[in-house]
Amino acid sequence: MQAVTASPQLPPAEDGVVRIDFHVHTNGSPEGIHGLAEVVAEAKRVGLDGIAVTDHNHLLSRRMAAKLSRELGFLIIGGVEGGDLVRRKRHSDDHRHWIGLNLDELPDLEEIEEITENVRDNGGLTIAPHPNARNGFRDYDRLRFDAVESVNGTRREQAIVGKGIATVGGTDTHAKYMLGHTWTDVYDSDGSVENILENVRKRNCVARGSPIPVWVIARFYFAVAERYLLHEPCELIQSWGRQLRKFC
């Protein structure tokens, strides 16, 4: 009998369709559990064709992502989930998150309109993750994001529509066993990063899946708590505070 915490196994995709998880954290994020190699191994196992690495305020550059793709034999799109920590450091009240993909450097800009424009001008792609959350951008269409995350694995949000831009799915995984529940089917793919992102810009993609089961998320929270208790007990309360805010 399969363990209840096992990641799903996706059936094979149709020809020309690639299955991408556009919102993946590794241990490059504060609460990330697993390193990139472990995450990639699990992404392969569940049947994904690629992942976008979106660690908090830590960019995996386009060039480094290409190098890691070759080494690990799997499509890796470089990226970042910005906002929150950087803005907190700058004493801004705006903690809302944005995702930028396929960038050479982290935009050193304050205003979200400047960031989406900068990413677009540099050939990247912007996604508004968890738009209905307190740390999301509800006005994603007005702010000229390229795509909105209509299915996020860790949140149970109201129905989200594209309002003229693409809708994508991402797990927002912080542990490898959270993969495979939510993803994006991108059509007419030639397998290259630029082609995949261009198809998203053209809305030639569909968000798939559903939120991650609560027992899988609970497993992750216990892993975070255990790690902090063992290594950084003073950080534990702050970490739980960050996680609880996600549900407010």
User: Which chain residues interact with Zn ion by CB under 5 A?
Assistant: 81, 97, 129, 172
Which DSSP string corresponds to 116-184? HHHHHHTT-EEEE-STTSTTS-TTTTTTT-SEEEEEETT--PPP---TTSEEEEE--BSSGGGTTSEEE
**Which residue, 66, 54, 51, is CA-closest to 20?**
51
Tokens at residue 45, please?
């196992």
Q: Least distance in Å: CB of 191 to Zn ion? A: 25
Q: Least distance in Å: CB of 14 to Zn ion? A: 28
Q: Least distance in Å: CB of 227 to Zn ion? A: 18
Q: Least distance in Å: CB of 73 to Zn ion? A: 25
Residue nearer to Zn ion on the CB measure, 16 or 35: 35
Q: Least distance in Å: CB of 3 to Zn ion? A: 25
Answer whether 197's CB lies under 8 Å from 62's CB: no
Minimal CB distance to Zn ion: which residue? 97
Q: Least distance in Å: CB of 130 to Zn ion? A: 6
Residue nearer to Zn ion on the CB measure, 53 or 205: 53
Does residue 188 come out as left (phi exceeding 0), alpha (psi in the -120 to 50 range) or beta? left
Q: Cα(first)–Cα(last) distance of the chain, in Å?
A: 36
Tokens at residue 196, please?
């995949």
**Beta strand spans in the chain (E):** 18-24, 50-53, 75-77, 79-82, 98-101, 125-128, 147-152, 166-170, 182-186, 205-209
Tokens 């690495």 sit on residue: 53
Q: Least distance in Å: CB of 167 to Zn ion? A: 17
Residue nearer to Zn ion on the CB measure, 21 or 172: 172
**Which residue, 48, 54, 9, 49, is CA-closest to 28?**
54
Residue nearer to Zn ion on the CB measure, 129 or 180: 129
Please tell me the distance from the alpha carbon of residue 199 to that of residue 165, in angstroms, as a whole number. 12
Residue nearer to Zn ion on the CB measure, 26 or 189: 26
Residue nearer to Zn ion on the CB measure, 31 or 49: 31
Residue nearer to Zn ion on the CB measure, 61 or 135: 135
